[in-house]
Amino acid sequence: MLGTLQATWQPYVLRFKRPSGTSRGILTERKTWFLKLTEIGNPNPERTGIGECAPLPGLSIDDRPNFESRIADVCREIDNYLSDLKASLRDYPSIRFGLETALRDLENEGKRLLFPSPFVDSGRPIPINGLIWMGTPEFMRRQIKEKLASGFTCLKMKIGALDFETELNLLRDIRREYPPAEIELRVDANGAFDPDTAPEKLARLAELEIHSIEQPIPPGRPERMAEICENSPLPIALDEELIGISDEKEKHTLLATIRPQYIILKPTLVGGFAGAREWIAIAEKHNIGWWVTSALESNIGLNAIAQWTATLGDTMTHGLGTGQLYLNNIPSPLTIDSGKLYYKPQSEWDLSVLEVSS
């Protein structure tokens, strides 16, 4: 049982090793915020719970000018917010995720061991996809070669920034050498396709035996998305479509209307672990598959998402490989080997970089 809590917060800027292209532009850095919980009067300075609040610019519903003031308010009134996380942080899913994580960490002695499972207890890895960022064809081919050489058997390629024929040729290159039994290919359009021409593009992608496509058209047109899902020869996964929906009834309505083959769960964007669990329960009622993806968090957030994912049972290959993107990430026991994410406790956490930046 925890005593009286004190909360503090701290901004931190993560710097990419190399510029990373998305449908929303080129990323060179990514700002995040760490929320820390301690017990007032606890003599153990190591017992601090830490969580990450990392809204994605231009995508998260809590990407707002008043974001820092809301974190400050949460820290000042921590007991009020903890009394009803869902209602108090309905419109701030990334803060809800950070607070959930910090509280869970504090309850487990501040050791960053949040969810017991074979992932942390006995070294059982989580299969993950290799992410291919948008860029020039040469840059994307280089990434593909690097991922395949390092042992990935599932690649996810972001598409929609280049000419579609160029993107198809990149995928064809992979398929010529690696059949579906050897390499699973996923693509992520981030809503880049025009709703009128999307069916034709999906048909051409299906010829390459693509596993699935994330968010082919922009969110907010559920009836049109439903038509596309019903007629597509290629399985469709909803991603951005889920953002901003926190009411359980609305979630049921959305999935019952669109009936996608999959949904993508990013706890930072969909209301933390509680919000993601609610989406999973509803999806399974509709026989819709799912997997979990990180949203460019540091290793603090990625660790929480990975440990939680490991408790969900064997589902699919997840999108949890973003921890290697940064020059100044938080040193942690998370490592990637042959397309799998491992938690190796012999490598310790090092939070000293946070102390230096504060």
Specify the residue for token string 């593909």.
144
Across the chain, mean pLDDT equals 92
- If asked whether residues 82 and 159 sit together in one domain, one would say no
Q: Which of 107, 130, 162 is the last residue of a domain?
A: 107
- d(Cα 339, Cα 17) in Å, to the nearest integer? 20
Q: Tokens standing for 55?
A: 């809204």
CATH number at 187 reads: 3.20.20.120
- If asked whether residues 218 and 336 sit together in one domain, one would say yes
pLDDT band at 357 (very low <50, low <70, confident <90, very high): low
Q: Which of 107, 128, 149 is the last residue of a domain?
A: 107
Domain that holds residue 321: 118-353
- If asked whether residues 271 and 206 sit together in one domain, one would say yes
Share of the chain above pLDDT 70, in %: 96
- If asked whether residues 221 and 325 sit together in one domain, one would say yes
- If asked whether residues 207 and 141 sit together in one domain, one would say yes
Per-residue pLDDT, 45: 59
Contact 246, 271 (CB under 8 A): yes
Please provide the DSSP assignment of 30-75 as one string: EEEEEEEEEETT-S-TT--EEEEE-PPTTTSTT--TTHHHHHHHHH
- If asked whether residues 138 and 35 sit together in one domain, one would say no
List the one residue out of 250, 357, 324, 310 whose CA is nearest residue 120.
310
Q: What is the pLDDT of residues 316-344, one digit of tens each?
A: 999 998 778 899 999 999 999 999 999 99
Please say if the pLDDT value at position 245 is more than 80: yes
Q: Which long-range contacts (CB under 8 A, 24 or more apart) does 217-222 make?
A: 217/189, 217/191, 217/193, 218/191, 219/191, 219/243, 221/195, 222/254, 222/257, 222/258
pLDDT band at 43 (very low <50, low <70, confident <90, very high): low
Please say if the pLDDT value at position 358 is more than 50: no
Please say if the pLDDT value at position 294 is more than 50: yes
- DSSP label of 118: H
Please say if the pLDDT value at position 202 is more than 70: yes
List the one residue out of 174, 160, 244 whose CA is nearest residue 209.
174
pLDDT higher for 191 or 23?
A: 191
CATH number at 20 reads: 3.30.390.10
Please provide the distance, in angstroms rounded to a whole number, between the alpha carbons at the two ends of the chain: 30
Q: Which of 59, 85, 107 is the last residue of a domain?
A: 107
Active-site hit among 147, 158, 201, 251: 158
Task: Count up the domains in the chain and report the number.
Answer: 2
pTM equals: 0.95
Q: Active-site residue 340, yes or no?
A: no
In a domain, 112, yes or no: no
- If asked whether residues 131 and 174 sit together in one domain, one would say yes
Per-residue pLDDT, 1: 57
Give 127's strand partners: 340
Per-residue pLDDT, 107: 93
Please say if the pLDDT value at position 195 is more than 70: yes
Mean pLDDT computed over 36-61? 87
Describe the strand order of the beta sheet including 184-188 as a list of residue ranges.
130-132, 154-158, 184-188, 212-214, 236-238, 262-265, 289-292
Per-residue pLDDT, 28: 86
Q: Active-site residue 111, yes or no?
A: no
